[in-house]
Amino acid sequence: MEWFDNFWAVYSNLVLTLGTNALLALSIYLTLSCGMLAMANAAFMGIGAYTSALVTMNLGLPYPVALAAGMAAPGLMAFIIGKPTLRLSGVYLAMATLAFGEVVRIVVLNAESLTGGALGLNGIPQSTEWWHVGLALLLTVAVLWRLRRSRVGRAFEAIKEDETAAGLMGIDVGAHKMLAFVLGAMIAGLAGTLNAHLTFFIGPNEYGFDRGVDILTMAILGGINSLFGPILGGIMLTVLPELLRGFKDFRLVVNGFILVLIVLFLPKGIWDPARFRQWFSRSSRKGAAA
């Protein structure tokens, strides 16, 4: 097991980041599956990270309390801003949520006495074990899986397909959207909490515009027609820059090219069950003909 110890010593952070990024991709998948392009997940992640870090550092409370607080705070925030923002749709919702994210970042930047301002928070206890991340991911997937198959999940799908029609069928569109938004915020907060207690340090700029766009890219690239797609996208976007280290200064250029190529050739995401079905049915038809 010596090779494993070596591997773990070098790459444990990367492996655990895979887990938190997969969680983030799932958090935006949830709102997308309800037909909302909400891009405040980076901000919710930041709110979770800061809340939980302050709970463990300033209040000295145990880690489970921090986890709960790190999920509750963004959930509450989502509930508060959800009422006015979720009336918006499409690009306008995306922009309002992105703008909210920037406001959060700048408030964090300016609330120096509490958040350390631009210097961030240093010395967060490294309480996150590998199995915390694994368990969090597993539980999230289980909950979302169950949700997809439930009445609520079918309502999400109906809203995504056609909001007006869903409303006419008697689905409470506002409440379902709010549920998706708040749950998504809580998952993002969970990812932020796990991540903050992994990296020792957090700063406001980690949760800005670019992170928000990154999270969306992971989900879209992986494919948002199934639960596995966003996870795959999160893993891809985390591992890819590491694999490309050989390209030195130009590794992100190659990274960008790969992104564009994936989008061009697999516009529905890497993991697209419909395409797989098509492949299988085609091959089976061929088999029948032969």
Partner 1 sequence: MLEQQLFNALSLGCVYALFALGFTLIFGVLGVINLSHGAVFMVGAYAAVEAMTLLHLPLWAGLLFSFVFCGVLGLLIDVLVLKPLRARNAPHLIPMIATIGVAIILNNGVQGIFGAQNVRFPSSAVSDDAITLAGLHLTSVELGIILLSFALMAVLIVALKKTQLGRALRAIAESPKAAYLLGINVEGLFYLTSFAAAGLGGVAGVLIGLYSNAVFPLMGQPILHKGIAVIILGGMGDIRGAMLGGLFLGFAEVLSVAYIGSTMRDAVAFGLLFLVLLVRPKGLFGTLQERKV
Contact between 106 and partner 1 per CB under 8 A:
yes
CA separation for the pair 271, 266 (Å, rounded): 9
243 binds partner 1 (CB under 8 A): no
Query: Which 108-167 positions form the footprint of partner 1 (CB under 8 A)?
Result: 109-110, 164
Q: How far is CA 65 from the centre of its chain?
A: 22
For position 79 contacting partner 1 by CB under 8 A, the verdict is no
84 part of the interface to partner 1, by CB under 8 A: yes
**Is residue 85 a contact residue for partner 1 (CB under 8 A)?**
yes
Asked if residues 40 and 100 have their Cβ atoms less than 8 Å apart, the reply is yes
Count the Cβ atoms, other than its own, within 10 Å of residue 196: 32
Q: Is 80 in the site for partner 1 (CB under 8 A)?
A: no
Q: Are 160 and 148 in contact (CB under 8 A)?
A: no
According to the binding rule CB under 8 A, does residue 288 interact with partner 1? no
Backbone dihedral angles phi then psi of residue 149, each to the nearest 5 degrees: -85, -5
Interface region with partner 1, contact rule CB under 8 A, candidates 146-154, 173-181, 190-198, 263-271 = 263-271
Pick from 15, 57, 76, 88 the residue near partner 1 by CB under 8 A. Answer: 88
Tell me the site size for partner 1, rule CB under 8 A: 42
Q: Are 247 and 253 in contact (CB under 8 A)?
A: yes
Q: Which stretch binds partner 1 (CB under 8 A): 14-22, 58-66, 145-153, 255-263?
A: 255-263
Q: Is 263 in the site for partner 1 (CB under 8 A)?
A: yes
Whole-angstrom Cα distance, residue 4 to residue 246?
23
Element (H, E) at 212: helix 209-222
Contact present, 214 and 25 (Cβ < 8 Å)? no
Q: Of 37, 12, 45, nearest to 206 (Cα)?
A: 45
Give the binding range for partner 1 (CB under 8 A) out of 5-13, 18-26, 67-75, 84-92. Answer: 84-92
Report in angstroms how near the CB of residue 136 gets to partner 1 at its nearest.
26
What three-state secondary structure class fits 95? helix
Residue numbers of the site for partner 1 (CB under 8 A)?
A: 37, 84-85, 87-88, 91-92, 95-96, 98-100, 102-103, 106-107, 109-110, 164, 168, 209-210, 213, 216-217, 220-221, 249-253, 255-260, 263-264, 267-268
